[in-house]
């Protein structure tokens, strides 16, 4: 996956449906779908994706916006 494919922080809004990869899924690349509750990364971009917390409480890095 190219860095340009990963959404930057300014594209991620609260309540947006996204796919994240959780820490324990990084090797397999398994994605978890959910709505953004909180944005945890303060910088506008990150090579592995912006870290967010979903409404479900799961935390991971955004891989794409649904």
Distance CA 15, CA 60 (A): 15
Here the CATH number for the domain that contains residue 61 is 2.30.30
Please give the structure tokens belonging to residue 42: 């303060």
What is the structure's pLDDT at 4? 62
* 11 — pLDDT class (breaks 50, 70, 90): very high
| pLDDT of 65 higher than 80 | yes
Q: Please state the domain count of the chain.
A: 1
Which domain, by its residues, includes 52?
Answer: 3-65
Q: What is the pLDDT of residues 29-55, one digit of tens each?
A: 999 999 999 999 999 999 999 999 999
Distance CA 25, CA 11 (A): 23
Distance CA 2, CA 57 (A): 27
Q: What is the pLDDT of residues 15-36, one digit of tens each?
A: 999 999 999 999 999 999 999 9
């Amino acid at each position: 996956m190219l860095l340009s494919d990963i959404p930057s922080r300014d594209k991620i809004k609260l309540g947006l449906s996204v796919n994240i990869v959780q820490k324990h899924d990084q090797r397999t690349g398994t994605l978890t779908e959910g709505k953004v509750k909180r944005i945890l990364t303060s910088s506008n971009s990150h090579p592995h994706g912006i870290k967010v917390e979903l409404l479900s409480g799961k935390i991971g890095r955004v891989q794409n916006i649904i």
